[in-house]
Amino acid sequence: ILFVPVVSIVAFLVLCLFPGQPGPNRYGRRTNEPAESKR
């Protein structure tokens, strides 16, 4: 039963190590900006 929280914490730490994608993405060029509309 104590195994599941350990896996959750380890998975969280592993995902924190993955680098993000550089440059603009589909949400715009700035951080915390609404997604760009697709027209």
Distances 37 to 1, 29, 30 between C-alpha atoms, Å: 46, 13, 15
34 vs 16 pLDDT, higher one: 16
Whether the per-residue pLDDT at 22 is higher than 70: the answer is yes
DSSP H or E stretch at residue 11: helix 3-17
Instruction: Give me the pLDDT at residue 21, please.
Output: 72
Report the helix count and the strand count for the chain, using DSSP H and E. 1, 0
Q: What is the band of 31 on the pLDDT scale with cuts at 50, 70, 90?
A: low
Share of the chain above pLDDT 70, in %: 51
Q: What is the band of 32 on the pLDDT scale with cuts at 50, 70, 90?
A: low
